């Protein structure tokens, strides 16, 4: 095992639980829609981003520090361009799916309720292996996951911790609003 600096990204489909519960008679069809959306995000994952895990309706990605600060700045620049792209491809997939099917079932009628929220945190993690599975763990990974449950109004947004904003947000277009979340075990973030 070794500890390394990284950027953690959790891309989560907002509205998934409600969507599946309200459409449980068509659960297979509903999962097909979710799978299409997750696969759309995964097509945007390339180096320096790595897929750690698909967690139901969320994708856990990270980009690790490559060992020198100049290369790290290049990694951050690449990640910075990917963040808005996730929202773009998600929306494109929703529009394409809606236009490409004459289906009027509850799943297809209600798919537009699904949105994307992306949580980004910069920190450190322990890289290790359990069996044959590479793992990334540690308090910063836990914090990023805790931030999935937050008080941000709306269901489509990019949420960055202060360290992520320092690494990525200052170089991005758009307006960022400062806020505070209280996470169990961490206090105010």
DSSP count for the chain of H helices, then E strands:
6, 8
* 16-49 pLDDT per residue, tens: 777 777 766 667 777 788 888 999 999 999 989 9
Q: Coil, strand or helix: which one is 185?
A: coil
Residue 124 has phi, psi (to 5 degrees) of -130, 155
Nearest Cα neighbor of 136 from 145, 121, 144, 126 is 126
Nearest Cα neighbor of 168 from 122, 129, 131 is 122
pLDDT at 98: 73
Residue 49 has phi, psi (to 5 degrees) of -75, 145
Q: Measured in whole angstroms, how far is the alpha carbon of residue 125 from the centre of its chain?
A: 17
Model confidence at 158: pLDDT above 70: yes
Whole-number average pLDDT of the chain: 90
Model confidence at 11: pLDDT above 90: yes
Alpha helices, H only, the chain:
16-22, 27-42, 69-100, 106-110, 139-146, 162-167
Q: Which of 63-67, 102-106, 135-139, 182-186 has the least mean pLDDT?
A: 102-106
Residue 12 has phi, psi (to 5 degrees) of -120, 135
Mean pLDDT of the region 148-168: 95
* 143-155 pLDDT per residue, tens: 999 999 999 998 9
pLDDT at 32: 81
Percent of the chain at pLDDT exceeding 90:
70
Structure confidence at residue 82 as a pLDDT band (50, 70, 90): very high
Mean pLDDT of the region 68-86: 96
Model confidence at 125: pLDDT above 90: yes
CA 17 to CA 89: how far, in whole Å? 21
CA 15 to CA 155: how far, in whole Å? 7
Structure confidence at residue 100 as a pLDDT band (50, 70, 90): low
């Amino acid at each position: 095992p070794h500890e390394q600096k990284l950027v953690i990204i959790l891309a989560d489909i907002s509205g998934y639980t409600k969507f599946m519960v309200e459409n449980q008679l068509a659960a297979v069809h509903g999962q097909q829609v979710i799978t299409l959306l997750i696969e759309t995000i995964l097509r945007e994952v390339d180096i320096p981003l790595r897929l750690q895990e698909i967690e139901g309706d969320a994708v856990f990605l990270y980009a690790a520090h490559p060992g020198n600060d100049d290369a790290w700045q290049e990694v951050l620049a690449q990640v910075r361009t990917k963040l808005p792209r996730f929202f773009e491809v998600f929306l494109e997939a929703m529009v394409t799916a809606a236009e490409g099917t004459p289906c009027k079932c509850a799943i297809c009628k209600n798919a537009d309720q699904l949105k994307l929220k992306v949580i980004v945190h910069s920190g450190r993690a322990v890289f290790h292996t359990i069996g044959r599975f590479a793992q990334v763990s540690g308090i910063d990974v836990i914090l990023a996951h805790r931030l999935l449950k937050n008080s941000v109004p709306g269901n489509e947004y990019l949420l960055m911790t202060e360290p992520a904003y320092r690494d990525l947000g200052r170089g991005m277009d758009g307006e960022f609003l400062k806020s505070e979340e209280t996470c169990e075990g961490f206090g105010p973030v």
